[in-house]
Amino acid sequence: MDARLTDLLRQFELERLEVNLFRGMSRDVGSPQVFGGQVLGQALMAAYETVEPRREVHSLHAYFLRRGDFNAPIVYDVDRARDGHSFYARRVVAIQHGQQIFNMSASFQASEPGLDHQVPMPQVPPPEQLADSGRPPRELLEQLPEKLQRLFGTQQSFEFRMVEPVDYLHPQKLPPWQHIWMRAVGPLPDDERLHRCLLAYVSDYNLLSTSLRPHGATFLAGGLATASIDHAMWFHRPPRVDQWLLYSVDSPNASGARGFTRGTLHTRDGTLIASTAQEGLIRISKPPG
């Protein structure tokens, strides 16, 4: 297995401290706090550890309360809210330094047949026709502070190819939507709960940035304070994150120093596997110009 994926999977090997208490470790990827997708994915894995086999997560709703410290472990406290015949409900609180940094509610369901329909996948070029967009161009990277250079210089465990790339050197006002192909950098084990946790992890990429596009702003330009506030996700069909997925994201609204975004995830053959929604902080930290 690719070393980058091996390191990623270690983050999802939680230590059981008690029956409903788990501990996870973080990685310093150059950002000022723990990546939100990591906390989301680890919290979902902690919930899975308390659920019987053959029950899969179908929805989750989470709030990011405080910045996570990547120098300290995160403790996940799972509340077994309900064990039903078909549905299980869990509440997870993530704790660092004696304070809640995150909480999540998740629902799990035993597989059963039912009505079936979905919206079609947007028509976009295939990933083979697009350039790798996992990092900004070298000429911009050299102009960034050392911390950001380290952030983008870190070897990523997922690759991304944007259908509508951003010109980081000369950002323009763009429509409030984007499409991104993404997949893990190598094959992963055939473990459905792992793929669902990793899908939660990677779903935190490219959401909030979509709400910046109509304003010609980027995370690299400075002058903005941004952070995820909440994250919701619905799992429709079994995912494989080591195969290409199209993430289609739009931002219907930004107001009150918050941006709202929605996303859908399709496989290459057009199967809709998940939907997301997120609201995030977008605060102007210094006047433009």
Residues catalogued as catalytic:
204, 228, 278
Rounded (to 5) percent helix, strand, coil in the chain: 20, 40, 45
260 contacts 252 by C-beta, under 8 angstroms? yes
Cβ atoms < 10 Å from Cβ of 19: 9
Consecutive H or E run containing 80: strand 74-83
Structure tokens at 233: 């996700």
Can you tell me the distance from the alpha carbon of 275 to that of 247, in angstroms, rounded to the nearest whole number?
9
Can you tell me the distance from the alpha carbon of 88 to that of 5, in angstroms, rounded to the nearest whole number?
30
Rg (CA), the chain: 19
Cβ atoms < 10 Å from Cβ of 200: 30
Can you tell me the distance from the alpha carbon of 281 to that of 91, in angstroms, rounded to the nearest whole number?
24
Cα 269 off chain centre by? 22
Instruction: Provide the CB-side half-sphere exposure for 132 (13 A, CA).
Output: 10
Q: Which of 83, 102, 84 is nearest to 93 (CA)?
A: 102
DSSP 3-state of 35: coil
